[in-house]
Chain A
Amino acid sequence: MSEVTRQEIMAVAAAREIQDGEAAFIGTGLPMVAAYLAKFTHAPSAVLVFESGIVDARPRELATGVGDFRLLHGCVKATGLYYALSLLQGGFIDIGFMGGAEVDEYGNLNSTAIGGYARPTVRLPGSGGANDIGSLAGRIVIMMPHEQRRLVPRVQYLTTPGFLDGPGGRERAGLRGEGPTRVITDLAVLDFEPRSKRMRLLTVHPGVTPEEVQARTGFPLLLAERVGETPIPSAEQVAVLRGRVDPEGIYIGKKG
């Protein structure tokens, strides 16, 4: 087995968050890879709901977009985005995945604008389904590259709620769901300390130190009592990832 890639470590860490039998709301990219890995290994009864309203798909080729017609192959229900969004609002989705340009220490995300809303220095695409997922899914897993300009003390524009201004923030705003429970980056796995709702370092990927993670984070991280190492993918997980889920290495990186 050649050396595992950081993306494979991230995919496995994300897959671990999906419990068997849960309904998972997924987009494209690594979350899709992680969801298929979970389904093909420890969570065969998980129901994967694509934002496009395609329920429990088993495509022969990886999709290039959440609305991709290719996902229709072998799915058990073909419907539309509004149906999928209604599942979120109805409280039927256990776990959702998302990224963003910025995340802050309370897990709030920005995918709208850098440098002011009315006349931004960088205008990003906007919420899309991100706000819907963050506000309404049972739990949220955030996946993004670990860079100081991305992990910031406070997002410049709050597109998608995490814990808003901290403990009790979601409840005060009238939101449902637990909020973000994991942050998975190319360096580490983090969660949110239950009392303060502030981001906390759980494990570092092999070859990464906690100091390096802190140096690339724009705010002081809380530390777990014992910061361990993120488990490396098992031989079975690597075989499924490379052989079945993403044989061309589009999302998990080229084989070493």
Chain B
Amino acid sequence: MTLREAVALIKDGDSVAVGGHTLRRHPMAIIHEIIRQGRRNLKLLGWNSGIDMDMLIGAGCVASVETSYIGISAFGLALNFRRAAEGGRLKVIEHSETTGIDMFRATAMGMSFFPTKTPLGSDLMQANEHLAEVTCPFTGERYAAVKAARPDVAILHAHTADQYGNVQLDLQRWHDNSVDAILAKAARTVLVTVEQIVSDEEVLRNAHLTVLPRKFVTAVIEAPYGAHPTACDSRYDYDLEEVGKYYEASKSGDAFKGYLEERVLAPADHWAYLDAVGLERLMALTRQRVVR
């Protein structure tokens, strides 16, 4: 399946869980293609979000967001998110990080809710209709119940997969990335881009690296640098030059349209996007991938 065909599985109005966190391993190649295809009224779900959601909001694809945070790392506030929320054009369902993960965890474990302590007493309990108070039947202690989320689609980026869709993560960051597997188990349709499609034998040889067996994966698409400009740890670092360019452009709606035109709409596909970013930059990000 091509990236274009995979993204065509996402419909206007779908709820879409977005993998990765902060400035790390967001499925940016898929996000660019969603913008090219002009999807509208998406309900985005995540647990610690950044340029992934902000870009989709700025491109006019989004009706609501459900996450704990949307910011552009050290650069500051996510400005498309900010404009849309302040203009009353975007519904925001706010979580703590824990409850942002627990909504997927509940579904992945076949439960209708998950108990936690974090949002008790805060205004999150009022602002988020998916949180409610419950009492422990054994101790009488108070908990917040997080309603299970069942996204129509999950979009993820990983390191490798075989042709059948058995998805693997590089060992060095396996743990950090493993929340994506919970998102995948919660969603009906799961689209995964990977840095590299590897042989069946390679997966069999390193079965301990498999984070998602093919049962949970609808489509796997090879998209090298598919997380750019966010980092894909152990492969390449985040591209602060590109994120800075994005941040500057996002200061006004018109400038941001220019950015989308140049970086997302003009390139016909992911390969044309990589050409636009340029080999020299991509290689530099790859060279600095390993801790000195």
A positions within 8 Å CB-CB of B: 52-53, 60-61, 64-67, 69-70, 72-73, 78-83, 85, 88-89, 112-113, 117-132, 135-136, 157-161, 164, 169-170, 172-176
A170 CA / B23 CA spacing, docked (Å): 33
Residues of A contacting B22 in the complex (Cβ-Cβ under 8 angstroms): 65-67
Our pick among B48, B70, B117, B289 for the contact of A174 (Cβ within 8 Å) is: B117
Determine how close the nearest CB of chain A comes to the CB of B290; give it in whole angstroms: 9
Residues of B contacting A127 in the complex (Cβ-Cβ under 8 angstroms): 68-69, 94-97, 124
The 4 tightest CB contacts between A and B, nearest first, are A174-B142, A173-B121, A128-B69, A125-B71
Residues of B contacting A80 in the complex (Cβ-Cβ under 8 angstroms): 175-179
B positions within 8 Å CB-CB of A: 21-24, 48, 67-71, 73-74, 77-78, 81-82, 85-88, 92, 94-98, 101, 116-124, 127, 141-143, 172-173, 175-179, 231, 233, 237, 289, 291-292
Our pick among A122, A129, A174, A175 for the contact of B97 (Cβ within 8 Å) is: A129
Q: Would A159 and B175 be within 8 Å (CB), given that A123-B86, A128-B68 are in contact? A: no
**B86–A121 CB distance below 8 A:** yes
Interface of A is mostly: loop
Determine how close the nearest CB of chain B comes to the CB of A42; give it in whole angstroms: 28
**B88–A119 CB distance below 8 A:** yes
Residues of A contacting B119 in the complex (Cβ-Cβ under 8 angstroms): 131, 135
Residues of A contacting B23 in the complex (Cβ-Cβ under 8 angstroms): 65, 67
A128 CA / B94 CA spacing, docked (Å): 9
A-B contact pairs, 8 of them (CB 8 A): A61-B292, A67-B21, A67-B23, A126-B92, A131-B122, A135-B96, A158-B123, A159-B123
Nearest residue (CB) in A for B94 is: A126
**B117–A89 CB distance below 8 A:** yes
**A158–B97 CB distance below 8 A:** no
Determine how close the nearest CB of chain A comes to the CB of B257; give it in whole angstroms: 21
Nearest residue (CB) in B for A118 is: B88
Q: Would A174 and B120 be within 8 Å (CB), given that A78-B175, A126-B67 are in contact? A: yes
Our pick among B24, B78, B176 for the contact of A125 (Cβ within 8 Å) is: B78
Our pick among A64, A135, A159 for the contact of B120 (Cβ within 8 Å) is: A135
Determine how close the nearest CB of chain B comes to the CB of A176; give it in whole angstroms: 6
A46 CA / B21 CA spacing, docked (Å): 27
Residues of A contacting B69 in the complex (Cβ-Cβ under 8 angstroms): 125-128
A173 CA / B120 CA spacing, docked (Å): 6
Determine how close the nearest CB of chain A comes to the CB of B291; give it in whole angstroms: 4
Nearest residue (CB) in B for A77 is: B175
**A136–B118 CB distance below 8 A:** yes
> Given A80-B176, A80-B178, A119-B88, list of 7 further CB < 8 A pairs?
A64-B73, A82-B101, A112-B123, A113-B85, A123-B82, A158-B121, A175-B120
A119 CA / B127 CA spacing, docked (Å): 12
A161 CA / B119 CA spacing, docked (Å): 8
**A169–B97 CB distance below 8 A:** no
Residues of B contacting A79 in the complex (Cβ-Cβ under 8 angstroms): 175-176
**B175–A161 CB distance below 8 A:** no
Nearest residue (CB) in A for B96 is: A131
Q: Would A128 and B48 be within 8 Å (CB), given that A53-B175, A89-B118, A136-B118 are in contact? A: yes
A66 CA / B116 CA spacing, docked (Å): 23
Our pick among A52, A82, A170 for the contact of B121 (Cβ within 8 Å) is: A170
Determine how close the nearest CB of chain A comes to the CB of B239; give it in whole angstroms: 13
**B121–A164 CB distance below 8 A:** yes
Nearest residue (CB) in A for B47 is: A81
Which residue among A121, A123, A172 has the maximum number of chain B CB atoms within 10 Å of its CB?
A: A123
**A78–B172 CB distance below 8 A:** yes
A214 CA / B73 CA spacing, docked (Å): 33
**B118–A67 CB distance below 8 A:** no
**B176–A129 CB distance below 8 A:** no
A132 CA / B177 CA spacing, docked (Å): 20
Residues of B contacting A73 in the complex (Cβ-Cβ under 8 angstroms): 291-292
Determine how close the nearest CB of chain B comes to the CB of A133; give it in whole angstroms: 9
Residues of A contacting B96 in the complex (Cβ-Cβ under 8 angstroms): 127, 129-132, 135
**A159–B122 CB distance below 8 A:** yes
Determine how close the nearest CB of chain B comes to the CB of A155; give it in whole angstroms: 9
Our pick among A70, A113, A118, A126 for the contact of B291 (Cβ within 8 Å) is: A70
**A159–B124 CB distance below 8 A:** yes
Residues of A contacting B85 in the complex (Cβ-Cβ under 8 angstroms): 113, 119-120, 123
A236 CA / B251 CA spacing, docked (Å): 44
Determine how close the nearest CB of chain B comes to the CB of A182; give it in whole angstroms: 20
A125 CA / B85 CA spacing, docked (Å): 11
A88 CA / B175 CA spacing, docked (Å): 17
A120 CA / B142 CA spacing, docked (Å): 30
